[in-house]
Amino acid sequence: MEHTTIAIDLAKSIFQVAISHRVGHVDREKRLTRDRFLACLAQEPPRSVV
């Protein structure tokens, strides 16, 4: 079973999102507006979010 963690740096208007499938390694990073952030999370399967 693959374990994925999504780390989110909350800010006023831009969210920095890092997605990791392995401990200590960032596989994807995104900078998203609030609207795009919510749409991005809605498309992801259940994950650990920190």
pLDDT tens-place values along the chain, 50 residues long: 467 888 899 877 899 999 888 888 899 899 999 889 889 888 888 888 88
Domain residue ranges in the chain: 5-49
- Closest by CA to 17, choosing from 3, 1, 2, 36, is 36
Task: Give the integer Cα–Cα distance in Å for 27 and 17.
Answer: 11
Matching residue, tokens 């952030």: 37
Residue 39: count other Cβ atoms within 10 Å of its Cβ.
Answer: 11
Instruction: Give pLDDT, residue 1.
Output: 45
